[in-house]
């Protein structure tokens, strides 16, 4: 379910149908318009495609508009109906409104009015569908499309919640803001959104850091060649290239103020014109933006527009730093070992069992970029059997030297638990932290899955 924009125009006058289709195509370019001249085919057309809106003539042979309105309301409740009527049928049109039509339009009225009503109705249907989808996904504990998240390994409950949230809002017409330190996986989340929203359309990224407002406008909107200056060549913008895909605005916090006004305009109006042209084009893509720093203080310092800030924050996803994702570390190291071994063309060395524990106090300031780099270095320094852990130890030592850190110590209660109580508590904690995934819990505890399973059975 994408932005609602499919419209079916129903009228027995073929000439009027053609004129109205052409007019709406021009005035509401984001709409996809079909027409139907035979009232008997309307319900089968609705059963075969997902129409957001039907523009319905009142007087037609076989089925009247009023009869069809009843059928559409009961069989296609997510489709809105606008009655299109002659002057002498206004009473019937008003009755149709009482029976659930969204609005009515008199054939002699200004078509601009009709275009505005159509645009509003499409927005309403889009919002309704979006709301239903978000509610449905929130109430569900499972993912509808888990394969979209294949590149994001995690067993952290907080991150798994963000998967469900992304699934819920991926189809919303509003932008999504990804917030997280460098290397927390914002780019991977943007790619997952692309998998959910439009896997067959392009995924286009623009890194905004260091770009001037003029460059950003040129890159996004493109340029038409100028007759008076043939040296200025036409250039397609990213908004054209991305089509119905996903546009990822990386580091939106670095956007200059005047470019912020332009981006807000693109998000709100959902249209743009290339530089040097008055021609307006629709924006049909999904927009995601990322930031490593909180935009609120930037706004307070006068560096980020409030209207853009709130528009971007409609749907926001916070990605936790790696230091708060202890559950994931051993699994991520194994994942990066495989990637590194494939890239280097060597056998994948084994991760020492105690490594995750040894590095659990390390803060990973560079998050997954840093962990990945360390593992690649470690694999290249390994003997093909056991992973060389020097890169990890060197990082920890450097970090301690810089920060004078002492390793985290366990804090015990005044009266010590017995060993079996401690075992039980540890197992319970590991299972809770891994959403009861025994393989991940066993990995955390440094034992095999079968050993964990035996202990659980014994404790019962
Ligand atoms: N959960 C994950 N599982 C496996 N690999 C991951 C995961 N999250 C991120 N990665 C990998 O870690 C690296 C950093 O991730 P990514 O580029 O998505 O971070 P980012 O937050 O967008 O970084 P930056 O702020 O620098 O743009 C990438 O190589 C990515 O493929």
Residue 360, pLDDT score: 84
Structure tokens at 383: 């003997």
pLDDT tens per residue across span 100-116: 999 988 887 788 888 88
Q: How confident is the model at residue 301 (pLDDT cuts 50, 70, 90)?
A: very high
Does position 165 have pLDDT exceeding 80, yes or no?
yes
Nearest CA to ligand 1 atom 14: 183
Average pLDDT estimate for 241-258: 96
Residue 180, ligand 1, Cβ within 6 A: yes
Q: Grade residue 435 by pLDDT with cuts at 50, 70 and 90.
A: low
369 Cβ closer than 6 Å to some ligand 1 atom = yes
- Ligand 1 centroid to 356 CA: how many Å? 19
Helix (H) or strand (E) holding 206: strand 203-207
Q: Compute the average pLDDT of residues 228-245.
A: 88
For domain 145-320, the CATH architecture is 3-Layer(aba) Sandwich (3.40)
DSSP structure class, residue 354 = T
Quick check: do 6-135 and 416-460 share a fold?
no
Atom of ligand 1 at shortest range from CA of 372: 12
DSSP structure class, residue 99: T
Rounded to the nearest angstrom, the distance between the alpha carbon of 203 and the centre of ligand 1 is 16
Write out the CATH class of domain 416-460: mainly alpha
Burial class of residue 331 in the structure, from the number of CB atoms within 10 Å of its CB (0-12 exposed, 13-18 middle, 19+ buried): buried
When pLDDT is cut at 50, 70 and 90, the band that residue 149 belongs to is: very high
**What topology does CATH give the domain 6-135?**
Rossmann fold (3.40.50)
Q: How far apart are CA 189 and CA 172, in angstroms?
A: 16
| pLDDT for the residue 291 | 96
Rounded to the nearest 10 degrees, what angle do helices 390-403 and 367-380 cross at? 130
CA 186 – ligand 1 centroid, Å: 6
Ligand 1 geometric centre to CA of 350 (Å): 23
Residue 367's pLDDT band (cuts 50, 70, 90): very high
Are the C-beta atoms of residues 36 and 45 closer than 8 Å to each other? yes
Where in the chain are the domains?
A: 6-135, 145-320, 322-409, 416-460
CB-CB contact of 54 with 80 (8 Å): yes
Query: Which residue's CA is the nearest one to ligand 1's atom 25?
Result: 182
In this model, does residue 403 exceed pLDDT 70?
Answer: no
Distances (CA, A) of 284 to 65, 128, 184, 215, 345: 32, 19, 28, 22, 42
CA atoms within 13 A on the CB side of 127: 7
Here the tokens at position 144 are 């509808």
Q: What is the mean pLDDT of the chain?
A: 88
d(Cα 263, Cα 252) in Å, to the nearest integer? 10
CA of 176 to the centre of ligand 1 (A): 17
Span from the CA of 367 to the centroid of ligand 1 (angstroms): 8
Number of the ligand 1 atom closest to the C-alpha atom of 184:
21
Q: Which of 185, 193, 372 to mutate to test the pocket of ligand 1 (most atoms within 8 A of CB)?
A: 185
Q: Is 368 in the pocket of ligand 1 (CB under 6 A)?
A: yes
- Domain 322-409 belongs to what topology? Helicase, Ruva Protein; domain 3 (1.10.8)
Distance 370 CA to ligand 1 centre (A): 10
Contacts of 61-68 with C-beta under 8 Å, sequence gap 24+, read: 61/12, 62/38, 63/39, 64/39, 65/10, 65/96, 66/92, 66/95, 66/96, 66/99, 68/10, 68/39, 68/42, 68/43
Centroid of ligand 1 to alpha carbon of 188 (angstroms)? 6
DSSP 8-state assignment for residue 350: B
Q: Cβ distance 81 to 110 under 8 Å? A: no
In ligand 1, which atom is closest to the CA atom of 180?
Answer: 21
**Of 325, 365, 299, nearest in space to 162 by CA:** 325
pLDDT at 142: 79
428 contacts: CB under 8 Å, gap ≥ 6: none
Interface predicted TM-score (ipTM): 0.98
Beta strands (DSSP E) in 263-310 are 271-272, 281-282, 286-291
Burial 241-250 (b: 16+ CB within 10 A, else e): ebeebbbbbb
Whether ligand 1 lies within 6 angstroms of the CB of 153 is answered as yes
Q: What is the largest CA-CA distance in the chain?
A: 89
Provide the β-strand partners of residue 56: 10, 83
């Amino acid at each position: 379910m994408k932005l609602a924009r499919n419209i079916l125009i129903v009228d027995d006058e073929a000439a009027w149908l053609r004129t109205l289709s052409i007019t709406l195509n021009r005035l509401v370019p984001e709409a996809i318009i079909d027409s139907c001249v035979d009232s008997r085919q309307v319900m089968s057309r609705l059963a075969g495609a997902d129409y957001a809106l039907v523009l319905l003539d009142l007087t037609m042979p076989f089925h009247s508009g009023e009869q069809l309105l009843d059928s559409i309301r009961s069989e296609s409740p997510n489709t809105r109906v606008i009655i299109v009527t002659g002057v002498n049928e206004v009473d019937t049109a008003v009755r149709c409104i009482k029976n659930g039509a969204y609005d009515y339009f008199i054939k002699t009225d200004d078509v601009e009015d009709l275009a505005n009503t159509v645009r509003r109705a499409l927005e309403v249907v889009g919002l309704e569908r979006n709301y239903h989808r978000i509610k449905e996904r929130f109430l569900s504990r499972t993912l509808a499309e888990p394969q979209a998240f294949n590149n994001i390994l995690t067993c952290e409950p907080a991150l798994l919640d963000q998967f469900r949230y992304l699934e819920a809002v991926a189809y919303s017409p509003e932008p999504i803001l990804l917030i997280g330190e460098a290397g927390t996986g914002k780019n991977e989340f943007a790619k997952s959104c692309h998998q959910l929203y439009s896997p067959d359309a392009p995924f286009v990224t623009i890194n905004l850091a260091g770009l001037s407002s003029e460059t950003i406008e040129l890159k996004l909107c493109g340029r038409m060649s100028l007759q008076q200056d043939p040296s200025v060549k036409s250039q397609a913008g990213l908004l054209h290239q991305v089509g119905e895909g996903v546009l990822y605005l990386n580091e939106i916090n670095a956007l200059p103020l005047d470019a912020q006004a332009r981006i807000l305009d693109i998000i709100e109006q959902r249209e743009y014109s290339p530089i040097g042209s008055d021609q307006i084009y629709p924006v049909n893509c999904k927009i995601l933006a990322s930031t490593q720093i909180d935009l609120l203080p930037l706004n307070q310092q006068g560096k980020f527009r409030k209207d853009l800030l709130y528009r971007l924050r409609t749907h926001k996803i916070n990605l936790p730093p790696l230091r708060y994702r202890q559950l994931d570390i051993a699994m991520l190291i194994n994942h990066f070992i495989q990637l590194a071994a494939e890239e280097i063309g060597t056998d994948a060395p084994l991760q020492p069992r105690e490594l995750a524990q040894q590095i659990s106090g390390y803060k990973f300031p560079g998050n997954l970029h840093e962990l990945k780099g360390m593992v690649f270095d470690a694999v290249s320094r390994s003997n093909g059997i056991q992973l060389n852990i020097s890169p990890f130890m060197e990082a920890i030592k450097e970090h301690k030297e810089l920060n004078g850190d002492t390793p985290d110590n366990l804090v015990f209660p005044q009266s010590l638990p017995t060993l079996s109580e401690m075992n039980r508590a540890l197992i319970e904690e590991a299972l809770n932290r891994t959403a009861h995934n025994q393989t991940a819990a066993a990995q955390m505890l440094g034992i095999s899955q079968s050993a964990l399973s035996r202990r659980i059975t014994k404790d019962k």
